[in-house]
Amino acid sequence: MPAPMSGRLAPSDRKALLVAAGILVVVVALAFVQGGGAPSGGGGLPSTYSSGRRGGRAAFLLLKEIGYAVERWEKSPLELPAEGAGTVLVLAEPIYPAAADERLALSRFVRTGGRILATGWSAADLLPNGQVVPTEDLPGEPQSYTSRISSPITLGANRIQLEPLARWTSENRAHLALYGSDEQAVVVTYREGTGRVVWWAGAWPLANGGISSDQNWMLFLDSIGPAPGVRVLWDEYFHGERGSLWAYLAGTPVPWAGAQAAFVALALLATYGRRWGPLRPRAVVARLSPLEFVETLGGLYERAHAAAPAAAVALQRFRFLLTRRLGLPANYPAAALGRAARERLGKEAEGLAETLENAERAAATYDLRDGQALQIVRELDGYLAALRMTPGAPSTALSSRGSAKKEKA
């Protein structure tokens, strides 16, 4: 029957507990950081959730204030109205690509009377007949542009500021360049079926930091169109805001709470397994291999008649243990070492000086006989046990040392 466990933790259990506590602290800290703040909605993106300089929250609220029926669109383009007439879709610098069927849905939306306001080169990639390339030769900071032609989209917006992050490359004459030049158009509009596409080279005119620059707000409203009877869908789907239960929960501390619960469950399972597992006997290490090594080494010494090296090894080991015990240098003379041992360790070290001197002479003798080496080794082992420098009973040590003395006599 196993003995009852004491109240103290074993070192291995204490170490496992400290590691588990450290991991738990890290998980809690990550959960706090993840769930502590409000969602930013994309930070530098023109998202309706972002209040940053490049966010689109101000433009979204402006449409609400002046009477537009505006809403965030977090669904796939496949769910857009079957008839696009009377609906405007804002694609403000999307960051996720569209599937082939989603591109077809956007094209169908425009051809059936819908309007798309797209900004940036990534949005142009989603447009039917959109042809743009990113520009590296033009500065990324907002630049001032003057309208080239009179159009309902340029009405009241003679001068705007916009960052030219891309340029329109289509040579189709139906694609009207409203701002910029024929080679580097930054605002373009064209009809597609019964609908219309409006493209900007950048989203600065609707960004929080740029909507009030020059007449950007007028360009934004003219690109959306008149308010009565218009439904404005501001796309957040291609910003990563997907309208599903998991997408909603991903922005809350729920995933981290689930991770913590899973960690606690694993810790409980590990604890149960350690305390209530089956009892098994301790594995016994076989002594066969060490004994074979000793016999092999002894056989080598015997065949080589290397009695002197065996005595030297025993003497070196004894001197190391004795000098460490007495706090003396390793090269301390044998006679002085024996006297120091007699003074400090008492009668148990009687005759040790003579034994050490004999051992040193034996170790230096080339033709030392096996019996003489064995006698030296026995005497040194007897002193080791008598002086308690190796495990052994004092009585046994004394008798061993005495028998060694008798054999010497």
**Which pLDDT does position 382 carry in this prediction?**
87
DSSP code for 119: E
pLDDT at 38: 35
pLDDT of residue 27: 62
Q: Which amino acid is at 19?
A: V
Q: What are phi and psi of 241, to 5 degrees?
A: -90, 95
- What is residue 107's predicted lDDT score, i.e. its pLDDT? 94
> Rounded CA gap, 69 and 57, in Å?
15
Which residues of the chain, if any, have pLDDT below 50?
1-7, 34-42, 392-409
pLDDT digits (tens, 9 = 90+) for 267-318: 777 766 555 556 777 777 666 666 677 777 777 777 777 788 888 888 888 8
Instruction: Decide if 146 contacts 158 (C-beta within 8 A).
Output: yes
d(CA 78, CA 275): 56
pLDDT of residue 315: 86
Q: What integer pLDDT is reported at residue 13 of this predicted model?
A: 64
Residue 268 to residue 271: CA distance in whole angstroms: 5
- Give the pLDDT confidence score for residue 181 in this predicted structure: 78
The tens digit of pLDDT for each residue in 111-127 reads: 999 999 999 888 888 99
The helix or strand, by DSSP H or E, that contains position 6, with its residue range, turns out to be none
Whole-angstrom Cα Rg for the chain? 45
Task: Indicate the helix (H) or strand (E) that contains 197.
Answer: strand 195-200
Q: Contact at 8 Å (CB) between 111 and 195?
A: yes
> What ranges do the domains of the chain cover?
16-37+251-273, 57-248, 289-408
**Dist. CA 237–CA 92, nearest whole Å:** 11
The pLDDT, as a whole number, for residue 36 is: 40
Rounded Cα gap, residues 144 and 41, in angstroms: 28
Specify the pLDDT at position 197.
Answer: 95
What pLDDT score was predicted for residue 206?
Answer: 93
**CATH class of this structure's domain 57-248:** alpha beta
pLDDT of the residue at 276: 58
Task: Work out the burial of residue 21: count CB atoms within 10 Å of its CB; fewer than 13 is exposed, 13-18 middle, 19 or more buried.
Answer: exposed
